[in-house]
Structure 1
């Protein structure tokens, strides 16, 4: 009973903190998302093909997961993340000028959750489920997606990651924790073993999982700072160098 009460308190505190940060410091209003991306050249053909290929691949994997699980995959945090990841690839295709602040913020949420999920699956769940995770669907959802989004992150615009976006990362994981409780109240089943609150260590599990998400967000922030550091020292060709070429006389 104590563990369940403590976990409920943790979820309420996390939800309240996320709402407070998002309300008082809206992530999309941060100057890092407010700069004009219209001045940046749109992705070249290879970039567009990368987005399209990733989208097609993700849709195929999602369909395979739904068919194999008979739809139960919708109850898992893995598939929740896979849905917003697929939505990102769609968004990237319809936002060729990179002007959408929300799409940039979504990338800053997706990448740390990808990292956290990959770590949890292969360090905590793999020893439990073993061969059940050794499938193409699982590899894609727990590692392959991280590789693709790291490529997207490296090739995307150079900017810092706003600190208040961490509230969106925490809110996303907290929302699933609440959903997990709802599912358990209806079915009597916990979707992940570490969500069960009948274990005295449950409060520590919930705290560590949230901390892991925030730590991964911090890693993304450091990687973004490294990108800015490198970009400040390597001049990037925006096409203006073409004007330095001698004009042909007619």
Structure 2
């Protein structure tokens, strides 16, 4: 292998493996359990209930009488803007730019907005009819439930990943790692502000839930990226996009442990934003805001 493995690297492998198994255990346990957890209502990907949430939450806003067209508009603007930035990024650096976690997360957010556009477009068609999920056929209802669950999971994963991306970029890479492979430029600044900005706008408008246990998907997403880095370095890739992922340093296990732990406050920060929205807005806008 092109990747030289030292004894302390097995600690790094163990940290990532433990994170994967712990996340899978939590997700399997919670997704199969009750849909009421931590006073948060959500659709489960592994179970289907007759009292499951309606599909309308995918395109309705938390603001009373706000037409689904407004969500369609904001999601379309977000999708087109982020797609343009990513296209600019690829044209500037070619597809090899996807060795960075930023581009992985950016693409994930774009996928979420693409799914949101489809949901909002459907909502605009159904809005005059005031249809609910129970009015649809059983087969279509199940498909819509699965679509909604995947869309929510991508939203929740993207939220944590965006916070992690921007925190690492602005608080670690910029101040301490000036000699990065790609220097700071306007495009990088735009990408590391647009991702959070568009997602926060979406959060203010949508009515999607944000259960704590789905931090597991966020952790799995990051672990997938780390494993990807190990594989490409084992096959001859020569440099690390993030110095703290290097395996040829005795303190590598400490870095890996810190990066594993930091997922909790990153996901928690966005969960706090959603909780603040649902707690404060009903008092600030009692006649306009509808708590999801």
* Same fold by TM-score greater than 0.5: yes
User: Is 1:36 paired with 2:84?
Assistant: no
Q: Which runs of 5 or more residues in structure 1 are unaligned?
A: 240-250
Between the two proteins, the alignment pairs up a number of residues equal to: 238
Aligned to 2:17, which of 5, 12, 21? Answer: 12
Q: 1:44 Cα deviation (Å)?
A: 4.5
Flag the 1:38–1:238 CA change in 2: closer, same or farther, 3 A. Answer: farther
Aligned to 1:54, which of 64, 73, 78? Answer: 78
CA RMSD of aligned residues (A): 2.7
User: Is 1:113 paired with 2:137?
Assistant: no
Deviation per residue, 1:169-224 (Å, 9 max, x gap): 11111111111111111124323211001112211111111222221111122222
Three-state SS of the structure 2 residue aligned to 1:145 is helix
Contact 1:183–1:189 at 8 Å: present in 2 too?
no
> What residue number does 2:247 align with?
197
> What residue number does 1:165 align with?
214
Aligned to 2:271, which of 188, 196, 221? Answer: 221
> What residue number does 2:127 align with?
none
Higher helix share: 1
Q: 1:143 Cα deviation (Å)?
A: 2.0
Q: 1:37 Cα deviation (Å)?
A: 4.8
Contact 1:27–1:165 at 8 Å: present in 2 too?
no
Contact 2:281–2:289 at 8 Å: present in 1 too?
no
Flag the 1:110–1:29 CA change in 2: closer, same or farther, 3 A. Answer: farther
**How far apart, in 1, do the equivalents of 2:34 and 2:84 lie?**
35
User: Is 1:101 paired with 2:106?
Assistant: no
User: Is 1:178 paired with 2:252?
Assistant: no
Deviation per residue, 1:13-68 (Å, 9 max, x gap): 11111121222222897342233252746754443222111111111111111121
Contact 1:158–1:227 at 8 Å: present in 2 too?
no
Q: Which runs of 5 or more residues in structure 2 are unaligned?
A: 1-5, 44-52, 125-143
Flag the 1:128–1:25 CA change in 2: closer, same or farther, 3 A. Answer: same
Flag the 1:176–1:238 CA change in 2: closer, same or farther, 3 A. Answer: closer
Deviation per residue, 1:74-95 (Å, 9 max, x gap): 2221111111111111111101
**How far apart, in 2, do the equivalents of 1:4 and 1:92 lie?**
41
When normalised by structure 2's length, the TM-score is: 0.73
